[in-house]
Structure 1
């Protein structure tokens, strides 16, 4: 995975499919957590590949403590399921420099 973009802040949330008053699904929330962790990784590490064992702690609204995200596993799983991602999710990944998005 080649990452060439270095964001100065967390990415804006990938637009979620309309779910009415319920809000984002658990899958959409998990994707957003992974995207936020990836943005932190890129900011800190640049275009260095994410090792499978990499864990990034992120701040999540409503949580008093940082939440660990197993970023290496998330990147691997997201890549293997990329055919199920919507255009907005792929665009958000591409914006962070993910070459397969």
Structure 2
């Protein structure tokens, strides 16, 4: 038996629904909504590990090159992971209202000018 999954089933008049029913078409049961993912604060939990890896890559790049990376700067980590340290500070700047004071202080110490003020 076919199921009619269109959200417009309820817009059909009773006669249209009856005729479709005679053809074996029935209204599909309403799908359950899945729980929406809630965001967690960036800090020592969800974003903390990613932040630390990005900060470590930035610090290694600065130690190697002697200054802040350009937009295309990358840093290969000892574990083989390649980090895009050129865009990472800009991404952090866009999310700065979600960074905690420890993270902002670490960025300022690394030489990220916007994090100092």
- The alignment's TM-score, normalised by the length of structure 2, stands at 0.56
Structure-2 separation of matches of 1:73 and 1:42: 14
Distance 2:109 2:87 in 1: 20
Give the match for residue 40 of structure 1: 60
Q: Which of these residues, 77, 83, 87, is aligned with residue 91 of structure 2?
A: 77
- How big is the alpha-carbon RMSD for the aligned residues of Structure 1 and Structure 2? 1.5
Structure 1 residue runs of 4 or more that deviate by more than 4 Å after TM superposition:
none
Unaligned runs of 5+ in 1: 1-15, 18-23, 60-64
Distance 1:98 1:70 in 2: 16
Q: Which has the higher contact order (CA 8 A, sep 6+)?
A: 1
After TM superposition, the structure 1 = structure 2 runs for residues 1-101 of structure 1, keeping only pairs within 5 Å, are 16-17=43-44, 24-25=45-46, 27-47=47-67, 49-59=68-78, 65-101=79-115
Please list every run of 5 or more consecutive structure 2 residues that lacks an aligned counterpart in the other structure: 1-42
Normalising by the residue count of structure 1, what TM-score does the alignment of the two structures yield? 0.64
